[in-house]
Amino acid sequence: MVNDLRDLMREASSHAPHDDGDVSAVLGAGRRRVRVRRAATIGGTALAAGAITLGSMAWLDPSPPDLAAAGVPRPEGPVIGLGDARPAVEGTDYRVLTSYTNNDLDAANGQYLDGVTDDGLVLFRDGPHGRSNASRFALLDPVTGERTWLDGLPDPSAQFWPVELSADRIALLRLPTSGETDALVVDVYDRADERWTATSWPGLPGTGDAWGARSAPDGRLYVKVPATEGAIPDGGWPTAPDGEAEDADAEGDTYDLWSVSLDDTSDARDEGLRVGDVAFTDTSMVWTDRTNGDAGLVHVRDLASGSETTFDPRTGDRCNLLGFGASGDRIMMSQYCGTYEDGVRDDRVQVLSTDGDLVTTIQGSGIEGGPAGPGNELVTITSYDRAQGGTYVYDLADGSLLRLSDAVSSFGVGGPAPDGDFMWHTPVNRRNGATQWVGRLIG
């Protein structure tokens, strides 16, 4: 049964994360995310409610999937696979800045690394804990290990996701854990004044995709307000070879784009754009026609001149857009493009230039990926395949692909990082817990 996001998040924070070992829950994660977002709000990473279990990664077949033999089509342009990755060597390719281990997240919520600020501090979260499901935050110095607690959080029982981790302020998107309001609330911590302010905008319509809010170079927060919802075909979805519903080439959803000022509760502005997904670089705004299905066209607006270009990303006939990001002159599109023989999935992380050139597509079964953080030229890719499972880092600057780990934990933990840094997680204690890592690329 599909849960409303608010109910899902409340339940996750009220009970310890638990996994019944449903392999299909991970195998079908991309498609289920489409259906969850279509029926509720978004099904993206629900990190802020504590560690949300991702399911078992115990594949029966340890050999890498043969995409060609399964009939998976090759994307247009240059293509690389996970087998092309070079194993990353600590001390040569990257160095670990800090790490944190929760030994048993199946038993109780723990403490988490929720992202890295522009000036290199780690947002550390303790909780939610106790009958009130309270959380508290600190800034962790990865060199000394010292934590500076950010006291005075307006509603410690809420669910949070960082939308800005700058040297000036910490902005946490909040969804209430009680009541029926869909109002957007952002808790902003002024690092100079050392105080929190809860900010909301009466002029902003209710937002069903608040967790997709994006900060922009102009200092504003851009929010998507639901407009149209892709319909399930008459008779329901066909059945894929793995027995799951096959919703490749879904119709897609659209949103009206609004922006708000984090400093002025009266400043909520309708941007007059109908979008699917939206992302920002330092110099441009990028958006698609639709998301959660066929992406349509990609649009790029120069923030200085206002000039726009539009192009066909050539994603493929059956591709659903599930993740979207941009950095520098590159655009990243994470897609599910169908399931084929023996349950082999066609998942893609497509990289394009802002001029529409096909740079490369990383293709595999059971993968997803996107920028390691706003403005970050590193793309982190997660694979749930047993033979090729783990976290990979693709460098937009030189096109190199590194394999960081050979497994991912069963819990969705992590957050955004500044350019050159990245986060990943690995299993401990027979997958009952997780170690989070913060690393920096060398060179």
DSSP 89-143: -BTTTEEEEEEEEES-TTTS--EEEEEE-TTS-EEEEEEEETTTTEEEEEEE-TT
Residue range 162-169: mean pLDDT, rounded: 96
Is the pLDDT score of 180 beyond 70? Answer: no
Is the pLDDT score of 346 beyond 60? Answer: yes
CB 233 within 8 A of CB 331: no
pLDDT in tens, 88-100: 999 999 999 999 9
In this predicted structure, what is the pLDDT of residue 35?
30
- How many of the other CB atoms lie within 10 Å of CB of 402? 18
Q: Is the peptide bond before 128 cis (omega within 30 degrees of 0)?
A: yes
In this predicted structure, what is the pLDDT of residue 243?
86
In this predicted structure, what is the pLDDT of residue 144?
96
Q: Among 226-240, 253-267, 349-363, 414-428, where is mean pLDDT lowest?
A: 226-240
pLDDT band at 183 (very low <50, low <70, confident <90, very high): confident
Is the pLDDT score of 30 beyond 50? Answer: no
In this predicted structure, what is the pLDDT of residue 23?
32
Instruction: Give the domain extent around 85.
Output: 5-441
Pairwise CA distance, residues 411 & 50, whole Å:
9
Q: Among 16-30, 272-286, 393-407, where is mean pLDDT lowest?
A: 16-30
In this predicted structure, what is the pLDDT of residue 197?
96
Q: Among 4-18, 388-402, 415-429, where is mean pLDDT lowest?
A: 4-18
Pairwise CA distance, residues 108 & 259, whole Å:
37
With a pLDDT cut of 70, the percent of the chain lying above it is 84
Count up the domains in the chain and report the number: 1
pLDDT band at 242 (very low <50, low <70, confident <90, very high): confident
With a pLDDT cut of 90, the percent of the chain lying above it is 75
Q: Among 16-25, 195-204, 300-309, 319-328, where is mean pLDDT lowest?
A: 16-25
Residue range 115-141: mean pLDDT, rounded: 95
Tell me the residue length of the chain: 443
Q: Among 57-66, 67-76, 215-224, 385-394, where is mean pLDDT lowest?
A: 57-66
Residue range 108-124: mean pLDDT, rounded: 97
Q: Which residues contact 170 (CB under 8 A, 6 or more apart)?
A: 117, 123, 137, 139, 150, 162, 164, 188, 189, 191
pLDDT band at 132 (very low <50, low <70, confident <90, very high): confident
Task: Say if pTM beats, i.e. exceeds, 0.95.
Answer: no
Q: Give the DSSP H or E segment for 275.
A: strand 264-275
CA nearest neighbour of 434 among 417, 411, 415, 403: 411
In this predicted structure, what is the pLDDT of residue 176?
53
How high is the mean pLDDT of the chain?
86
pLDDT in tens, 301-343: 999 999 999 999 999 999 999 999 999 999 999 999 999 999 9
Is the pLDDT score of 394 beyond 50? Answer: yes
CA nearest neighbour of 123 among 102, 109, 140: 140
Domain containing residue 243: CATH number: 2.130.10.10
Residue range 340-351: mean pLDDT, rounded: 96
Determine the residue type at 250. A
Q: Among 19-23, 45-49, 217-221, 353-357, where is mean pLDDT lowest?
A: 19-23
